[in-house]
Structure 1
Amino acid sequence: MAGVQLTGLASGMDTDAIVKQLLAAESTSRTNLVLKQAATQARSDALKDVAAKLSSLKTAATALRSAGTWADVQTIESADSTKVAARTIAGAASGGHTVTVSGLARAAQSTFDYAVPGAAGSITVNGHDVALASGASLDDAVSAINSDEDAGVYAVNVGGRLAISSKTTGAASAATATGSMVSNGTTLAGADSAFTVDGVAYTRSTNVVTDALAGVELTLKGASTGTAVTVSTPGASPESIVNAAKGFVTAYNAVVDAIRQQTTEKRIPTAATTGDARKGSLFNDGGLNSVLSSLRLAISSAVPGVSSSLDQLSELGITTGTSTGGGTLNQDSIAGKLTLDTAVLRTKLDSDPSGVKKLLGGAAGTSGFAQKLEGVLEPLTQAGGVFAERTSSVASSLTSIAGSLTRFDERLASRETQLRRQFAALEVALQRNQDTLAKVTAQFA
């Protein structure tokens, strides 16, 4: 009860302490409920963590066979990218090509003396009037021209002279200016790029060319007597497949770590704190051990029907047999965790890309390793599946325990009220008896 407790005034007993001791004795079962709640919550958290990692593993397995992972790509290389850069923009014919550059495209440029106008006027740039105020400086003129999108040029102050350049390159580009503010103009005409592709001559108004070599964008950067440009044959990107394999190994090892952590942590039978009660909530759990066994079997066994020469992950460099030297397995291998030898995988991709694709499940109409593992994981991770049912059952237990704690607290509060009332009544009765005795004693006296 809140506030100052004046107890034992008549009896001389510390009734408040007595009430607390009685309530403490009755609270032992509540402590057991709290410890049970902590252990059950730990079980719920652990199951959810393992379920989440299994879902991530299923996603990683799907990536091994996905169309995105196995999509055909082409690479393109230029023997001298400082002269000719190249990139694919669509399906391009594979093979080698030779690009010779004899001239680069440039924009028309003109330079003029500039006179500050004594009255408002305008400069006509490429046939477009740009208004200038009276007394406009050269920098004012530059700013006015650059702010006018219709002028079609860039302007700059070069050593006190007005220089303008066309915003487009090519022989047809123009950079003209007329008016009382400009004079003594000098002009450098624009030019087209000139080059050959495999001996066929081209001229273009730009240095970025997309219509000379089908599916390829060429960027001309400098004169070249012959730059080799090589387009690869379309095929899956080895890097994409290696990355998918890395993601799978990481996701698988996360599952192994999570399950082993839960199934090997032992309970504390004499747990007196919630921290101790949380330990070992899934120690030696049969369901989790069964999951781990199923995964290990799927990893280690051959995939039927894909290839007689390539039907196991170990042939792609995905194994559990890493040694610490002298033939001794390291702790990760003992735990059943995977390692990936990317050199082995890349070698197989070079020598037998079709076999790798079939084994991993990326080939149309073929059920490979990815589909096999998905079949193991689906009943575990799906809605209403094994882990969903287990977590639902644990959630029901938590709800039941919470209800029991609420009812216990209500009973304990009621018990405290009852005890305090009883002791208060006792004190009142004793006080009355003492008052009566005092009166009788006084009368006899």
Structure 2
Amino acid sequence: MSGMRIYGLSSGLDTELIIKQLMDLERAPIRKLQTRQGLVQVQKDVWKDINRRLVALDSKLIDLKLSGTYFSMKASSSQQGVFTAKATNAAIEASYEVKVLDLAQSHRVASTAGEVNFPLSGTFLINDIEINVENAASMTDIRNAINNTDNLEARAEVVDGRLILTHNLTGSENAFTFEHLGGDDILLELQIYDSIQGTPLYQELRAPLNARAEINGLIVERSTNVLKDVISGVEITLVGKSDTPGRLDISKDSARALNAVKTFIEQYNSVMDFVSGKLAANGDLRGDPTLIRIQGALRSVIFEKYVDGGALSNLLDVGISVNDEGGALSFSRSGKLVLNESTFLNVHQNNPEAVKDIFSGAGKFSDKLSTYVKSLVTNNTGLISSREKGLESTIKTFTGQIERYTQRLELREKQLNRQFTALERSLSQIQNQSNWLASQVNNLAGFDSLLR
């Protein structure tokens, strides 16, 4: 069989095992290169993970950058079943008495004809929108023609053989209007409207009505149940009538600012915890000077001064402390931040403007930290990106070295195979010669015995 080798027939040695052991010894440098390459790959993966965590950290700074985060207002109703409310940043702190007198409702009418002579084909207007009915064989066909008409602020349904029309818009100004245009007078046939006399024939199931509410003694009236322009920055939704007034309170909402800070802290701690672990004695980047500098920069930015001469000047004033005493935030030995919510809320409630001046604005905490993080993570130009490229180059260098060394070892293995094959052949020849000589000696001995 071509390429088949049988070792040790002449020497009695397991030459295949010998070659394997020799090659295993000669592969030691490759294993060292692979080990070093693996370590570099681990470092590259760690930097990639750090980059991902820092990108996430930068995203958590977005809300902290927005000035609106610190001036959120909230609205609360004492009668949720009567009215609800929400406030924007334009609202001011105040309290109101709200009594709902009437809810806005939409117009609803029904046809009054007992029997209808189908089929019907005709054109008519509902609220100045043209409806075209062709060869309607039933009330359902008329309903479908109405509901399939674009831009009609109304819907139709059939109940007990009668056509019911409901206006989509509430308010007394949104009553139904009808007009026959041509063909069969469908409006008259259904006993909805007499266009000649200008007389409604429908049954009014629900009258169009405006919403009416009494706010701090003043009666306001709107066409919808959502009052957007009664109190600046406040939207009130009426959901039920009331005999007694309820209380509407507009106050500062510190929850948004608090949640923004908590979200940032959670991600910041994730970064710092991960970095500390990788710099530890058993970490993958232990002693790495670049990562040590990044860790230091992330720590130092916490304590910088961001406002000169203000009521609050740095994060220390909103509670960041190195000794866990008296602050909303404290700096633990691991470099992680801890939040005392009650202290932060107190500071923010008393002076949201001053809190905003620390976190939000050019050169302030969020902007400065974000700028630094971007210098690390920006694709192609960021420090971490450059570090990853350098490590990738090292990995490729190792790959090239391993490939070249492997090629040399393949040649070496072939050489050893040739040498051991030659050895076996030589030993075989010697053995054959030895056997021949022994045979000759035996033959001579036999001849000598015959002569005697």
Relative to 1, partners in 2 of residues 1:251 and 1:203: Cα closer, same or farther, differing over 3 Å? closer
The 5 Å alignment of 1:78-97 reads: 78-87=77-86, 91=90, 95=94
The 5 Å alignment of 1:234-383 reads: 238-266=254-282, 280-299=283-302, 301=303, 303=305, 305-307=307-309, 310-319=312-321, 321=323, 333-360=332-359, 362-363=360-361, 367-370=363-366, 373=369
Could you tell me how far apart the structure 2 residues matched to 1:89 and 1:60 are?
A: 22
The 5 Å alignment of 1:12-411 reads: 12-60=12-60, 63-67=63-67, 69-70=69-70, 72-87=71-86, 91=90, 95=94, 101-103=100-102, 104-115=104-115, 117=117, 119-122=118-121, 128=131, 130-134=133-137, 136=138, 138-139=139-140, 142-148=143-149, 153-169=154-170, 170=172, 172-174=174-176, 178-180=187-189, 186-188=203-205, 190-193=207-210, 195=212, 204-210=222-228, 217-224=235-242, 232=250, 238-266=254-282, 280-299=283-302, 301=303, 303=305, 305-307=307-309, 310-319=312-321, 321=323, 333-360=332-359, 362-363=360-361, 367-370=363-366, 373=369, 387-411=384-408
Does residue 425 (structure 1) correspond to residue 422 (structure 2)? The answer is yes
Could you tell me how far apart the structure 2 residues matched to 1:379 and 1:31 are?
A: 37
Three-state SS of the structure 1 residue aligned to 2:107 is: coil
Relative to 1, partners in 2 of residues 1:219 and 1:296: Cα closer, same or farther, differing over 3 Å? closer
The 5 Å alignment of 1:424-443 reads: 424-436=421-433
Relative to 1, partners in 2 of residues 1:309 and 1:74: Cα closer, same or farther, differing over 3 Å? closer
Counterpart contact for 2:273–2:335, Cα < 8 Å = no
Counterpart contact for 1:10–1:427, Cα < 8 Å = yes
Could you tell me how far apart the structure 2 residues matched to 1:157 and 1:174 are?
A: 18
Could you tell me how far apart the structure 2 residues matched to 1:371 and 1:182 are?
A: 69
Could you tell me how far apart the structure 2 residues matched to 1:89 and 1:298 are?
A: 32
Unaligned stretches of 5+ residues in structure 2 = 179-185, 193-200, 326-330, 444-452
Three-state SS of the structure 2 residue aligned to 1:11 is: coil
Larger Rg: 2
Note the alpha carbon deviations across 1:263-283, whole angstroms, 9 max, x for none.
2243xxxxxxxxxxxxx4433
Give the structure-1-normalised TM-score: 0.74
Relative to 1, partners in 2 of residues 1:353 and 1:227: Cα closer, same or farther, differing over 3 Å? same
Counterpart contact for 1:58–1:377, Cα < 8 Å = yes
Note the alpha carbon deviations across 1:125-173, whole angstroms, 9 max, x for none.
7565534544x3x555544544455876433343454433334443552
* 1:309 positional shift: 5.2
Could you tell me how far apart the structure 1 residues matched to 2:226 and 2:159 are?
A: 28
Counterpart contact for 1:98–1:226, Cα < 8 Å = no
Counterpart contact for 2:121–2:134, Cα < 8 Å = yes
Could you tell me how far apart the structure 1 residues matched to 2:147 and 2:306 are?
A: 70
* 1:347 positional shift: 0.7
Letter in 2 for 1:351: N
Three-state SS of the structure 2 residue aligned to 1:282 is: coil
For these two proteins, the number of residue pairs brought into alignment is 413
Unaligned stretches of 5+ residues in structure 1 = 267-279, 324-331
Three-state SS of the structure 2 residue aligned to 1:164 is: strand
Could you tell me how far apart the structure 2 residues matched to 1:425 and 1:142 are?
A: 101
Does residue 414 (structure 1) correspond to residue 411 (structure 2)? The answer is yes
Note the alpha carbon deviations across 1:202-229, whole angstroms, 9 max, x for none.
6554444555556655544444567568
Note the alpha carbon deviations across 1:12-55, whole angstroms, 9 max, x for none.
33221221121112122222222222222223323333344345
Three-state SS of the structure 2 residue aligned to 1:244 is: helix
Counterpart contact for 1:298–1:373, Cα < 8 Å = yes
Relative to 1, partners in 2 of residues 1:396 and 1:343: Cα closer, same or farther, differing over 3 Å? same
Note the alpha carbon deviations across 1:154-206, whole angstroms, 9 max, x for none.
33343454433334443552277635466995334633315366666665544
Relative to 1, partners in 2 of residues 1:341 and 1:400: Cα closer, same or farther, differing over 3 Å? same
Note the alpha carbon deviations across 1:83-118, whole angstroms, 9 max, x for none.
44445689567755666554434304124354364x
Could you tell me how far apart the structure 1 residues matched to 2:287 and 2:254 are?
A: 41
Could you tell me how far apart the structure 1 residues matched to 2:412 and 2:121 are?
A: 98
Residue 197 of structure 2 corresponds to none
